[in-house]
Structure 1
Amino acid sequence: MIAMPVQYYIKHAFENEGASISEIARKVDVCWRTAAKYAYKEDWNESPPTVRKKRRPVMDPVADIVDTWLLEDQLLPRKDRRNAAAIYSELREKHGFEGSERTVREYVRNRRKELLKEEPEPTAYVELVHEPGEAQADFGTIRCVRDGKIVEAKALVLSFPWSNAGFAVPMPSENGECLLEGLRLLFEQAGGVPQRLVLDNATTMVATIGKGEERTLTEAFMRFQLHYRFDVDFCAPARGNEKGNVENKVGYSRRQWLCPLQPLNSFEELGEQLAIKAIRDMDRIHYKKGRTIADMWREEQSALLPLPSVPFEAVRLDAAVLNNYAQFRFESETYSVPQGRPRQKVLLSVYWDRIEVRNREGEALTTLPRHYMLKEQPIDWLAHFEIYSRRPRAAVHSAMFRYLPKAVQAYLKEANASERSARVRFVRDMLKMYSIDEVAEALEALPADRRANPANVELKLYALNPENGLPEPIAEGYTPIEVAAYNPDSAVYDKLLPARAEGVVKA
């Protein structure tokens, strides 16, 4: 198996430079079959490649009609482009062409090279000048609510500057698996692949930065790029303005699609919501061109490359050795493999959301959820109730109300408008001494008729506090059992009270 950079060069030369298999084989010093293997390769997943489909001619060109076919064919893999014979047959059948096949072959051979030269170089793109089918991608930080806390996650945003269409997908991290899985999902949402993608110099894509535009890409990203056949441009270091459209789209999507804070029950569920909002957002008018983004997006979609028949599988292959507790460490996290043995070597298939563990023979042992330590901060409920106390009637309609514990929600909802004001202020005062979970526990412990009285709730809060519990009886053997077991009768003490007659106390 030849090195990945050589595979990359073979595919690039064959697809984009019009080089023949023989020319490539001589240049990289490999046999013709090896060069052909990687030139025609479509599935760049690390798993064993699927059987390559037979080549079938699609979209090739002569005259204005043929030129159009040739340009359209550039959007397709080379194996799907029509050859000269197919063009000749179609010209004769549909356009009454009377020339010879040799004439068509010669025209197609020469015109293809001319059209390749006419294609704009990546450096021809200048700031604020964008062509259909060009896209930019970047990560942004988002905040959501999970398990009653505000957590920080990431959103990968894909924007198309020409139409100003954009898509976003939430991810737990900016690691390589999240990046590639996110781009795959975004391409599928867009219904195609951008011809050119502008990115920053993240280490998940760029291994080293050379002089000028020289970049050494990571092997995983090279596989992904070959799989989807897009060209890539990387910004100059510290020059984020070179992808200003997506920088703006990151902020726009955060403000328009994720405010107020959205629940993070799962990344898949939040991703579906963002996809719906991205489509709805296209109904607005383009900020500059006076047309709806939806109309422009439909036009731009024709410039996208088709999706491959096999989706890319973003997976990293690794290995580990189980310790004496059948555990292994990965990215500072500990994972247990009950099915494994101490000191056993295991193979890991690391995806963005899970880790598949196999033994050395490739047999599956277990699948574990991948751990992520998202930054968390508690919701400052006292600050929110300070606001609610100024507008008590609007408390149940606030953006954060749905994240309150159910017992607190019910406590506020079951009161009428006049009672709600007092209850909001009561909860606010209790939050100065107790947490929102403690207040919810006290409310749950009381029936509705008893929690209507704030004093009962406060007493329950006091009783639930471990520090306020009754002391344990003193273990001692000096007190006689008759005394220790004595239960006083309160009626005896009533006899000691002065007698009352007609409201007058008699001494």
Structure 2
Amino acid sequence: MLTMTQVKNIKKLYYSKGKKVNEIVKITGHNYRTVMKYLEKDDFNQTVGRKEGDKRGRPRKIEPVKPIIDRWLEEDKTAPVKQRHTAKKIYTRLKEEHGELLNVGYRTIAYYVAKRKKEVYKDEEGYIPLEHPKGEAQVDFGQAIFYEKGKRIEGHYLNMTFPYSNGGYTQVFKGENQECLLEGMKRIFEYIEHVPYKIWFDNLSAAVIMGKNKERKLVEQFERFALHYGFEANFCNPNSGHEKGNVKNKVGYHRRNLFVPIPHFENIDEYNKKLLKLSGIDMKREHYKKGELIEKLLEEEKDFMFKLPEKEFEVCRIKTVITDKYGKAEYETNLYSTSPVYAGEEVIVKATADKVVIMNKDFRTIVTHERIYDKYKESMKWYPYLEALARRPKAIKYTKFFNELPDIWKDYIDNQDNEGKKRSIKALMKMIEGDEDLGLINATKAIEETLNNGINDIDSIIATYYRIRNMGNIAINEINLKDNIPKIKEYQSDINIYDSLCKRQVPAI
């Protein structure tokens, strides 16, 4: 409790000096809640009489066992309903394990348990408690710029924070849709090997639909995800971001500490794995209020969380699509190639947070694309089309694929005869199979090196490609022989001896 002088100083800084609450916190050293408490306080009458609930002005006999009962009831949140403590079980257990502290009868215990259960299991829809219980989490998105393979992307990052310990994790995505939300949560669950028993959200469209009379309806995929992992999903009141202030603060904290300077990376999956580790390293610091390491407090929280389910939840969206005459499937305004074989056919699109997988009716993968988060764009995977082009090599010159090839490859294929074009296209198919981008980079390095060495046959280009792919871009140096190597007389074979065999008479039959 602050002195009147301290309270007066807080009010003076706010009303006379025009200081903001955060500035007052820094100046006075008091925490945010304390400052707000006294700024909002309008009754300074001295409290007269005994404290509420203390009729005789001295500690009640139940006080020593209250923390124990509270802990058992909190732990029950993650236990099956039929395996939670009854008042009778709590009383029996107190007698057995803490008999020296138990100075009241069963009826007193039963009354307190009933009261506490109402508080523990009350409907908290729309209201986050000021005192954060262990094992709860908050989730929200933030926006940040990053560069993938040199390309600037206006990205999004999902934040999951644990208010009790002030721990938090983040994952980067190119969108803010349902797949990104669920995939980010799933990765964090798997990394910490636990699931918070309750998670608070803003009114994210990826999770909830606002119906008539402001009724919330969970999106089906989100609801199945929540049921699979067992957590309770709670949502804040509309336009009440302050209700989940912990995650709002963590969104800013992650941006300042993890995304400055602007991140550059080659592979978003590898970068997200790195972010999980960096988030863990960041928790090796003291809690701003509790004086213990955040990572230690988070470990304590895990006792109040669920274990991971044995079966993994596959985060994806499935849709059936009819391809166009070129074998391209449309998904969310964007076109994804399949194969000429599937032109005008029904295919199955499976969309994850970062991939679009095209499958046939038997659910066998035809091709996998990076998911596009722009509008009206196209992703082409040329490998399935090259097989058709190999049968009609003259047509390759008029394809978009040919025009997008490096000049050195265009010139090489263009200068081949019909059979040479076929072999070149088939060789290129081998080199880009599995990873078109990396395959084409290595194929270009291979043809450049081979042609620079004065060799131009396709088999030599393929051999150079496999060396680069398996050993890296290490050129083979010319072998310089020493002068003391003895000269070996060149051997000349004499085939005249075989002519004499031809002169032998073959007996008539």
Question: Match for 2:359: what amino acid?
Answer: R
Q: Specify the alignment match of 1:174 in structure 2.
A: 176
Q: Which of 182, 204, 207 matches 1:205?
A: 207
Contact 1:151 1:374 in 2 (8 A): no
Q: Specify the alignment match of 2:78 in structure 1.
A: 75
What are the Cα deviations for residues 361-384 of structure 1, in whole angstroms up to 9, with x where unaligned? Answer: x24141322332479xxxxxxxxx
What are the Cα deviations for residues 49-92 of structure 1, in whole angstroms up to 9, with x where unaligned? Answer: xxxxxxxxxxxxxxx9999777645414559x4899xx9xx99x
Question: Match for 1:301: what amino acid?
Answer: K
Q: Specify the alignment match of 1:352 in structure 2.
A: 353
Displacement of 1:126 after TM fit? 4.6
Please state whether the residue corresponding to 2:194 is helix, strand or coil: coil
Contact 2:360 2:366 in 1 (8 A): no
Q: Which of 193, 196, 201 matches 1:194?
A: 196
Q: Are 2:270 and 1:262 equivalent residues in the alignment?
A: no
Q: Specify the alignment match of 2:123 in structure 1.
A: 121
User: What is the percentage of aligned positions where both structures have the same residue?
Assistant: 34
- 1:181–1:187: structure 2 CA closer, same or farther, 3 Å change rule? same
Q: Specify the alignment match of 2:139 in structure 1.
A: 137
Q: Distance in 2 between matches of 1:178 and 1:266?
A: 16
- 1:124–1:180: structure 2 CA closer, same or farther, 3 Å change rule? closer
Contact 1:153 1:374 in 2 (8 A): no
Q: Distance in 1 between matches of 2:369 and 2:279?
A: 29
Q: Specify the alignment match of 1:215 in structure 2.
A: 216
Q: Are 2:369 and 1:369 equivalent residues in the alignment?
A: yes
Q: Distance in 2 between matches of 1:237 and 1:66?
A: 35
Structure 2: where are the runs of 5+ without partners?
A: 1-66, 98-110, 376-509
Displacement of 1:320 after TM fit? 0.3
Q: Distance in 2 between matches of 1:328 and 1:131?
A: 48
Q: Which has the higher contact order (CA 8 A, sep 6+)?
A: 1
Q: Specify the alignment match of 1:242 in structure 2.
A: 243
Alignment of 1:4-403 (within 5 A): 72-77=75-80, 81=83, 117-119=118-120, 120-122=122-124, 126=128, 128-211=130-213, 214-338=215-339, 340-360=341-361, 362-373=362-373
Please state whether the residue corresponding to 2:336 is helix, strand or coil: strand
Question: Match for 2:171: what amino acid?
Answer: V
Please state whether the residue corresponding to 1:178 is helix, strand or coil: helix
- 1:219–1:124: structure 2 CA closer, same or farther, 3 Å change rule? closer
TM-score between both structures, scaled by the size of structure 1: 0.52
Q: Specify the alignment match of 2:31 in structure 1.
A: none
Contact 1:152 1:374 in 2 (8 A): no
- 1:196–1:67: structure 2 CA closer, same or farther, 3 Å change rule? closer
Q: Distance in 1 between matches of 2:71 and 2:164?
A: 22
Displacement of 1:291 after TM fit? 2.3
Contact 1:139 1:250 in 2 (8 A): yes
Please state whether the residue corresponding to 1:140 is helix, strand or coil: strand
- 1:124–1:132: structure 2 CA closer, same or farther, 3 Å change rule? farther
Q: Distance in 2 between matches of 1:283 and 1:293?
A: 6
TM-score between both structures, scaled by the size of structure 2: 0.52
Q: Specify the alignment match of 2:499 in structure 1.
A: none
What are the Cα deviations for residues 131-157 of structure 1, in whole angstroms up to 9, with x where unaligned? Answer: 111211111112222333432211100
Q: Distance in 2 between matches of 1:280 and 1:168?
A: 13
- 1:183–1:319: structure 2 CA closer, same or farther, 3 Å change rule? same
Q: Distance in 1 between matches of 2:208 and 2:173?
A: 20
What are the Cα deviations for residues 458-486 of structure 1, in whole angstroms up to 9, with x where unaligned? Answer: xxxxxxxxxxxxxxxxxxxxxxxxxxxxx
Please state whether the residue corresponding to 1:122 is helix, strand or coil: coil
Contact 1:184 1:311 in 2 (8 A): no
Q: Distance in 1 between matches of 2:272 and 2:283?
A: 17
Structure 1: where are the runs of 5+ without partners?
A: 1-63, 96-109, 376-507
